[in-house]
Amino acid sequence: MSQSKTNVVIVGAGIYGMSTALWMLKSGKYNVTILDKCGILPAPDAASTDLNKIIRSADYADPSLAALGLEAIDDHWRNPEWENTYHESGVMVLSGAGEKAGQEFVSKAYSNCKNLGIDVTLVNGSSDVKNIIKKKVARGVPLGEFGGREGYFNPIGGWAESGRALEVGLKKVRQLGGTIRSGAEVQGLLRNGRKVTGVEIKGGEQVKGDLVIVAAGAWTPALCAQPGFSVRLPDVVATGQSVGVIQLTPEEHKKYANIPVVFNLDNGWYNFPPNAEGLMKLAIHGAGVLCPGDNGVSVPRTKLTPGGESGAIPLTSLKGLRAGLREVYPELAKKDFLTTRLCWYCDTITGDWLIDYHPDYDNLVIASGDSGHAFKFTPVIGREILKVVEKNPSPEYSEKWSFDYVEKLLKRESKKELSDVDVEDPELAKGGADVRAGQRKVLDVNDLVRPQDLLAKQAKL
Ligand SMILES: Cc1cc2nc3c(=O)[nH]c(=O)nc-3n(C[C@H](O)[C@H](O)[C@H](O)COP(=O)(O)OP(=O)(O)OC[C@H]3O[C@@H](n4cnc5c(N)ncnc54)[C@H](O)[C@@H]3O)c2cc1C
């Protein structure tokens, strides 16, 4: 006799929700309904939807993430299943010579790459970096000094057309029989003691399920704090990160078509090769900005949110994006930005994700805390979330992704209580998942600029 399937409600159609749905449907054991608040999917303001994301392979200090990253490329991204959304340009991983956290990360990540058999090339400063890049750009393209940084070049890795990859995944979810509802904003949890029986969406409709998975990305902290939810979380916070795009001319596009991704760990600056339309994205993987709502919980301020429509970013970030480009491809740094955007991470303290059953409920899973580096794992992250759902998590991740990980870590390592700790202490984040530059600040709306407001003076910034 065939067993009846478990009915699962997933809140959020980003890569956490989509990939989980895919693995659940492939297992044949689940009926899946994904609910997303946005009327258009993929949601234009979701972190997962964008021109592109870096697909690092084994470039992690944490060996288990290094292996997972390489697996995602070797066994998945290169497969026809992902419809050529992945482009293997290689990734230059750099950090300033005196930058301790960045250099530690580079050195561990380099060893992990080597141990996994990747033919990475060490670069000891500008001339080494330039020698590699020179082979990839057209003759005569002026190169900057790359800030004199050191690190290595990894030929395995590159970037993915992230919005398109999410679209490909959502299409597959539908083909496998999953239900995806757009414009379904979840605002409450239905519960009976320790049992969650479903969710309530805006307008009052109830969607019942045997299991609820909250995968709402950077909206997760604000959603869980809503009166209809009131679900406690460990320290997770929405931080806004600055992105800018420049349009290359057809001639420039040709000259820069084969460049690798450059990623500076010390200041978080990175850029991509141009996409098919000649659009080059630059961004800063930094401490980010907070946007506290009425209850003090930081909530994404995006193009779809009142006040965020213009896509403006802090002036300091706009200057940082341009300064970074000047260090790499100086002639492009003279160009105006076409668009800018704040894109939102759900940050944990250590940079490890939060994927666990909620301790107060029997059938509520939180799958969030992406910390700005989960996209590369799109094809495999759902498998790992499913293992957590089935109470059989991969041993290398089970503690790191657990609800009380930071508390356990602090008790074990320093006997401190969580309340004694500065949760923004960068020391906490150096465990291997991430390195982050700068100090987190509250967004100052008076400091926000749109590139089009600055057209006349942009190049001078
Ligand atoms: C600027 C930027 C650059 C990045 N670069 C990289 C990179 O180079 N490489 C990399 O690996 N990763 C990168 N990341 C990280 C990566 O994008 C994220 O880790 C990943 O996309 C997170 O996916 P998610 O599903 O958790 O969240 P999201 O993609 O944000 O999805 C959350 C979904 O939940 C929906 N939702 C929210 N609230 C509700 C509600 N109440 N009801 C219903 N639906 C709701 C939203 O509409 C959204 O569709 C970057 C992120 C940003 C912001």
CB distance 217 to ligand 1 below 6 Å: yes
CB distance 373 to ligand 1 below 6 Å: yes
Pocket test for ligand 1, best of 352, 375, 377, 385 (most atoms within 8 A of CB): 375
What are the Cα distances from residue 285, in Å, to 20, 26, 196, 220? 26, 34, 36, 20
Q: What is the pLDDT of residue 415?
A: 59
Residue 458 has pLDDT above 70, yes or no: no
What are the Cα distances from residue 302, in Å, to 219, 258, 403, 423? 11, 32, 28, 25
The segment(s) of the chain belonging to CATH 3.50.50.60 are 6-47+164-235+349-425
Q: What is the pLDDT of residue 409?
A: 81
Residue 282 has pLDDT above 90, yes or no: yes
Render pLDDT for 283-311 as a digit per residue (tens, 0 to 9).
999 999 999 999 999 999 998 998 888 89
Render pLDDT for 111-121 as a digit per residue (tens, 0 to 9).
999 999 999 99
Pocket test for ligand 1, best of 56, 199, 370 (most atoms within 8 A of CB): 370
Q: What is the pLDDT of residue 408?
A: 85
Q: Residue 187 CA: which ligand 1 atom is closest?
A: 41
- pLDDT above 70 coverage of the chain, percent: 93
Q: How far is the CA of 179 from the centre of ligand 1 (A)?
A: 20
Residue 7 has pLDDT above 90, yes or no: yes
Question: Tokens 């490909």 label which residue?
Answer: 168
CB distance 241 to ligand 1 below 6 Å: yes
Q: Residue 371 CA: which ligand 1 atom is closest?
A: 19
Render pLDDT for 103-113 as a digit per residue (tens, 0 to 9).
999 999 999 99
CB distance 263 to ligand 1 below 6 Å: no
What are the Cα distances from residue 292, in Å, to 38, 39, 67, 314, 334? 21, 24, 36, 16, 35
Question: What's the fold here for domain 6-47+164-235+349-425?
Answer: FAD/NAD(P)-binding domain (3.50.50)
Average pLDDT over residues 128-138: 96
Q: Tell me the pLDDT band of 404, cut-offs 50, 70 and 90.
A: very high
Q: What is the pLDDT of residue 238?
A: 97
Q: What is the pLDDT of residue 426?
A: 52
Residue 414 has pLDDT above 80, yes or no: no
CB distance 19 to ligand 1 below 6 Å: no
CB distance 188 to ligand 1 below 6 Å: no
ipTM over 0.90: yes
Q: CA–CA separation, 4 vs 236, rounded Å?
A: 36
The segment(s) of the chain belonging to CATH 3.30.9.10 are 90-158+237-348+444-460
CA dihedral 445, 450, 456, 457 (to 10 degrees): 50
Q: What is the pLDDT of residue 319?
A: 93
CB distance 261 to ligand 1 below 6 Å: no
Average pLDDT over residues 411-426: 62
CATH code for residues 90-158+237-348+444-460: 3.30.9.10
Q: Tell me the pLDDT band of 18, cut-offs 50, 70 and 90.
A: very high
CB distance 443 to ligand 1 below 6 Å: no
How many whole angstroms from its chain centre is CA 461?
Answer: 28
